[in-house]
């Protein structure tokens, strides 16, 4: 039998999850700050579809949370005249509307976490040990394309020879657009420097992509083919 959900613990978990689970370093599809501020100040008039973006973009959720706290402080300190506060963003309307936005975002997370079927991750090793950038004036030789199954993967990425330990940003790019990214620490596994990440690729279109590994100023790119299992 399922245990009853503790509301406070659930809200705390959902907010923490939203702040960290959806990194978007390229800020793909992010609304302008003015749109987020409008969602905070006059949520009943704002574009509610922005809340869907908040549910899958941690940087925007962080920014929205900060703007919301800033607005609450302004109301408490009486910066606005009482007429403006009454007609535009009265505390009661702000509280109810902001609560509705947060509840909507949390509801979306709850649906994905508790209602969506759990994906089964398959082990897959991406061997990039020979993918070091070429040196000298010789043009780069074409690299053989690696075929990756389009499904949730427990992905082990074996780094190019000469790579260093530390944090890496792993991205999957289609043209100029980053469709997936994850940060991971490189560590030795069977004498090979390796990154371990979860990569759910089942929703991506099949086709050619670039795996991009970046650590500091060093960046390695390698062509891959996302194909049906």
**Looking at the domain that runs over 122-131+143-227, which CATH code has it been given?**
2.60.40.10
Q: Which residue has the higher pLDDT, 171 or 104?
A: 171
More confident residue, 108 or 169: 169
Strands 192-200 and 177-189: antiparallel
In the block, which residue shows the tokens 């062509």? 223
- In this structure, how many other beta carbons lie within 10 angstroms of the beta carbon of residue 29? 11
- Using an 8 Å Cβ cutoff, are 163 and 157 in contact? no
Give the global pTM: 0.47
Please name which of 215, 217, 227 lies closest in space to residue 157, comparing C-alpha atoms.
215
Rounded to whole angstroms, the Cα distance separating 104 from 107 reads 5
> What is the pLDDT averaged over residues 53-61?
81
Contacts of 184 (CB under 8 A, 6+ apart): 167, 168, 170, 195, 196, 197
CA distance linking residue 66 with residue 72, whole number of Å: 10
Asked which of 35-49, 57-71, 79-93, 190-204 is least confident by mean pLDDT, the reply is 79-93
Burial class (CB in 10 A: 0-12, 13-18, 19+), 188: exposed
CA angle 195, 25, 60 (to 5 degrees): 130
Identify the band that residue 225 occupies on the pLDDT scale cut at 50, 70 and 90: very high
Q: What's the rounded mean pLDDT across residues 160-173?
A: 91
């Amino acid at each position: 039998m399922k245990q009853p959900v503790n509301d406070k613990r659930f809200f705390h978990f959902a907010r923490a999850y939203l702040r960290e689970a959806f990194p978007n370093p390229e800020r793909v599809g992010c609304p302008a700050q003015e749109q987020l501020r409008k969602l905070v100040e006059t949520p009943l008039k704002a574009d509610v579809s922005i809340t869907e973006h908040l549910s899958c973009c941690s940087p925007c959720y962080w920014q929205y949370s900060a703007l919301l706290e800033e607005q609450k402080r302004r109301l408490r300190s009486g910066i606005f005249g009482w007429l403006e506060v009454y007609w535009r963003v009265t505390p009661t309307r702000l509280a109810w509307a902001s609560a509705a936005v947060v509840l909507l975002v949390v509801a979306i997370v709850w649906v994905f976490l508790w209602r969506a079927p759990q994906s089964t991750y398959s082990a897959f090793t991406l061997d990039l040990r020979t993918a070091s950038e070429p040196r000298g004036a010789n043009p780069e030789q074409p690299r053989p394309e690696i075929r990756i199954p389009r499904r949730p993967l427990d992905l082990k990425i074996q780094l190019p020879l000469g790579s260093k330990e530390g944090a890496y940003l792993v991205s999957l790019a289609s043209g100029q657009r980053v469709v997936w990214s994850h940060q991971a620490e490189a560590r030795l596994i069977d004498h090979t420097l390796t990154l371990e990440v979860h990569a759910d690729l089942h929703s991506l279109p099949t086709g050619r992509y670039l795996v991009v590994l970046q650590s500091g100023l060093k960046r390695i790119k390698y062509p891959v083919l996302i194909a049906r299992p």
